[in-house]
């Protein structure tokens, strides 16, 4: 799968995805990630990507021309949908990530300043995606979240693909309590069932203790968590 990112700070992406699961997938060629400098798609000597908003108001607005030009140049290489990272967009969920993982690629436009000229949304974007109900300084960090969530669902990215079914928001809801050695630490013990070797009982325990998520992101346990 190919990811193309349009940003005025394309250098932010390489350090984040240099290592880890996504970094190894990039090295093996399972994924492609290309970060494009929006300023390269300008035509003036100042490489201007923003201007004052019509109607007045604080801040600056990203101009439509460079964004259209950048995406037009990418489209022959990436037939996937164009996504805008916007706080009012569709909330990025695991189900949405699975849907996006079926695309041949994704073109992600990262806004800055007071936003992007709305003609980009009207005439270019296929979807608007949000990572939560809060405001960040730009779309780069949300784009990184999107890439990480989608990329790990692709074949060959995660080493043990069976582990994807045990992920948070997988088949076991929002995940379940996890433990490792030692079996006792500062008076807190690992539940006996997890040490029993009874895989059916362990599976039942995990399902009984699977966490769910309420609207607004508050995490709950379906049963009271215990260390006994």
Looking at the fold, whether 176 and 88 belong to one and the same domain comes out as no
Assign residue 208 the CATH number of its domain.
1.10.1270.20
Task: Supply the range of the domain harboring residue 175.
Answer: 161-221
The one catalytic residue in 81, 87, 177, 191 is 87
- One domain, residues 196 and 139: no
Active site residue 50: no
Same domain for 106 and 190?
A: no
156 domain-assigned: no
One domain, residues 121 and 170: no
Q: Is the pLDDT of residue 38 over 50?
A: yes
Same domain, yes or no, for 7 and 78? yes
Residues 180 and 123 in one domain: no
Q: Are 138 and 168 contained in the same domain? A: no
Check: pTM over 0.85? Answer yes or no: no
Mean pLDDT across the chain, nearest whole number?
88
The count of structural domains within the chain is 2
Q: Where are the beta strands (DSSP E) in the chain?
A: 2-7, 32-37, 50-51, 61-62, 82-91, 105-109, 127-130, 184-185, 188-189, 211-213, 219-221
126 is catalytic: no
What's the number of CA atoms in the CB half-sphere (13 Å) around residue 228? 2
Say whether both 40 and 136 belong to one domain.
yes
The catalytic position among 10, 112, 140, 152 is 152
- Check 32, 65, 99, 114 and give the catalytic one: 114
Residues 30 and 73 in one domain: yes
- Span 171-223, pLDDT tens digits: 555 578 999 989 998 999 999 999 999 999 999 999 999 876 544 444 444 33
Same domain, residue pair 132 and 207: no
Active-site annotation holds for 152:
yes
């Amino acid at each position: 799968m190919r990811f193309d990112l349009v940003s005025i700070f394309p250098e932010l992406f390489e350090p984040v995805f240099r290592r880890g699961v996504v970094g190894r997938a990039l090295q093996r060629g399972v994924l492609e990630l290309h970060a494009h400098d929006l300023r390269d798609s300008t035509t003036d000597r100042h490489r201007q990507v923003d201007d004052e908003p019509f109607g007045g108001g604080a801040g600056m607005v990203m101009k439509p021309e460079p964004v259209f030009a950048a995406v037009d140049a990418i489209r022959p290489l990436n037939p996937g949908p164009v996504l805008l990272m916007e706080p009012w967009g569709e909330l990025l969920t695991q189900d949405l990530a699975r849907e996006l993982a079926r695309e041949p690629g994704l073109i992600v436009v990262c806004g800055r300043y007071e936003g992007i000229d709305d003609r980009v949304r009207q005439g270019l974007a296929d979807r608007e995606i949000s990572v939560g109900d809060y405001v960040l300084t730009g779309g780069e960090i949300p784009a990184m979240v999107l890439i990480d969530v989608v990329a790990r669902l692709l074949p060959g990215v995660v080493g043990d693909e069976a582990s994807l079914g045990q992920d948070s928001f997988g088949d076991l809801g929002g995940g379940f309590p996890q433990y490792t050695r030692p079996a006792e630490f500062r008076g807190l013990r690992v539940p006996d069932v997890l040490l029993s070797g009874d895989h059916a009982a362990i599976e039942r325990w995990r399902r009984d203790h699977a966490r769910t998520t309420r609207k607004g992101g508050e995490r709950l346990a379906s049963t009271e968590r215990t260390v006994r």
